[in-house]
Amino acid sequence: MDSPSLRAGKAAGNNAPPAPEIEHADTLTLNEVSSIDAQKKHADYGRIDEEVAEYAGATRIDIDPETNKRLKTMIDKRILTIMIVTYFMQALDKGAISFVSIMNFNEDNNLHGQQFSWLTTCIYIAIIVVEYPTNYLIQRVPIAKYLGINIICWGVVLACHAACRNFTSLVIVRTLLGIFEACCQPTFVLLSAMWYKRTEQAQAVTYWYMMNGGQQVVGGLLAYSFSLLQSGPLKSWQALFITYGGFTALWGLFVVFYMPDSPMRARCFSEADKRLMVERVRGNQTSLQNKKFRKEQAIEALLDPQTWGYCLVSICTTLPTSGLGAFKAIIIKGFNFTTLQTQLLAMVLGFYIIFVLFATLFLVKKTGQNLIVMGCFVIPSFVGTVIMMTVQNTSRATQIGLLISYYIALSFWSAQTLALSMISRNIAGQTKKSVVVAANFVSWACAAAIGESPFFSLFEVSYLA
């Protein structure tokens, strides 16, 4: 656990001159910072990234609460805002296929049998293939620029969905979408560790992960609006894909030019503030940045039981519920609701997901128990799934009951967001963290692909007859 402030440490080396006394970091001048940096010759920086070493003094600096709050506010406005909007765009784009499924999308593209389910599965197969390469690149290239370029690419690919007319063309664009979107979550896990203290990371991860619920709300409202388009040169689902893709590509351009790659490269902040931002996360002891691939850390990651514990959480929470999320529109409509009612009820699901994640964050902050809170939300998910599998939709009461059970079944979002925040906080070393993050998302993608592939035919009799 972090102390309330970053305590002053001893200067590295026996002959190091004493650190200058600094009562408050907000009074720190560039000359004082330079005097601290002059002591670096006494420290061993052989294993520290060169950019980090340039901004991390050999002496620990005490940052007072007021300055720490000011720095965090600056980071929230610049970094967290971009992560929240970007994750919202990614969730909205990926979830668009569910909303268009009830806009004559299947009929217009001559989809039959399990072909529609493969349009979601192929995204996860693409993620499985590219997850380790993309994590390797994230560690070595400017992370914000890499993220922005991928956002532009997936926006263009999403818009190209409107030009598809058959299963083959849809598989191609869906696979490309998975390739370009694969960098999003791993990048955000690393960015959360780079910019935030350990005690702040659960909150940061929860806020951007909460956009899974936000896209349900906004996505349902937008899909409802697009479904009202009954005439014109474009079908409703084509207009939706073009609109989403265009806005996503424009947002990607904004990210490229506005988001800093790291505290050290943040030209939007003063030199003194950049040094303090590096200093405030020093206590994490999980590595801020390192572009060198360290084989020993990769081996350590593969041998660490934590790695496989996080993978097990991803598999166990995703495998039984992945189809429930991907086919939400089909499931809700299968409860004998109209198309427009389905779009609006999907919005309620979004509010429920947001509630679950807020409740998760509150309970973790109150108790400090990640795993216990995780278990408390997984149990309702299991109960809701069992009810959906066993209760027949025979009356208005069972219709409402099944709908509520469906919402409850998606409480698993709590476990996934907590697992991501634990990886961000607890895994030290840039190479090790990239390997663990990649393993976690490969496990998630495998479970999602397996869980979704039989879903359509499995539930066809129960809900779609």
Token digits for 125? 């197969």
| pLDDT value, residue 416 | 81
| pLDDT value, residue 349 | 84
Nearest to 332 by CA among 314, 315, 350: 350
Question: Tens of pLDDT along 249-267?
Answer: 999 999 999 999 888 778 8
Nearest to 387 by CA among 405, 367, 362, 360: 405
- Taking the C-alpha atoms of residue 118 and residue 138, their distance in angstroms, rounded to an integer, is 28
Question: Tens of pLDDT along 160-217?
Answer: 999 999 999 999 999 999 999 999 988 998 888 888 888 888 888 889 988 988 888 8
- Taking the C-alpha atoms of residue 453 and residue 422, their distance in angstroms, rounded to an integer, is 29
Place of tokens 């806009």: 103
| Cβ-contact 427, 287 below 8 angstroms | no
Nearest to 358 by CA among 318, 419, 417: 417
Place of tokens 């005097």: 35
Nearest to 248 by CA among 414, 86, 13: 86
| pLDDT value, residue 15 | 42
Beta strands in 48-102 (DSSP E): none
The burial of 221, by beta-carbon neighbours within 10 Å (0-12 exposed, 13-18 middle, 19 or more buried), is given as middle
The fold of 65-263+294-463 is: Growth Hormone; Chain: A; (1.20.1250)
Which residue positions in the chain have pLDDT lower than 70? 1-60, 283-291, 323, 325-326, 453-465
| Cβ-contact 358, 130 below 8 angstroms | no
Place of tokens 């906080």: 425
Q: How far is CA 33 from the centre of its chain?
A: 35
| Cβ-contact 449, 125 below 8 angstroms | yes
| pLDDT value, residue 100 | 84
- Taking the C-alpha atoms of residue 197 and residue 186, their distance in angstroms, rounded to an integer, is 18
Report angle CA 163, 164, 168 to the nearest 5 degrees. 150
| Cβ-contact 343, 227 below 8 angstroms | yes
Collect all residues with Cβ–Cβ distance below 8 Å to 431 and sequence separation of at least 6.
Answer: 139, 290, 292, 293, 294, 297, 298, 301
| pLDDT value, residue 251 | 96
List where CATH 1.20.1250.20 sits in the chain: 65-263+294-463
Report angle CA 228, 408, 185 to the nearest 5 degrees. 75
| pLDDT value, residue 53 | 55
Max CA distance (Å), the chain: 82
| pLDDT value, residue 173 | 94
| pLDDT value, residue 295 | 80
pTM of the model: 0.78
Backbone angles phi, psi at 298, to 5 degrees: -65, -45
| Cβ-contact 259, 147 below 8 angstroms | yes
| Cβ-contact 119, 170 below 8 angstroms | yes
- Taking the C-alpha atoms of residue 21 and residue 15, their distance in angstroms, rounded to an integer, is 18
- Taking the C-alpha atoms of residue 253 and residue 138, their distance in angstroms, rounded to an integer, is 18
The dihedral built from the CA positions of residue 462, 213, 371 and 440, taken in this order, carries a sign that is positive
Q: Which helix (H) or strand (E) holds 52?
A: helix 50-55
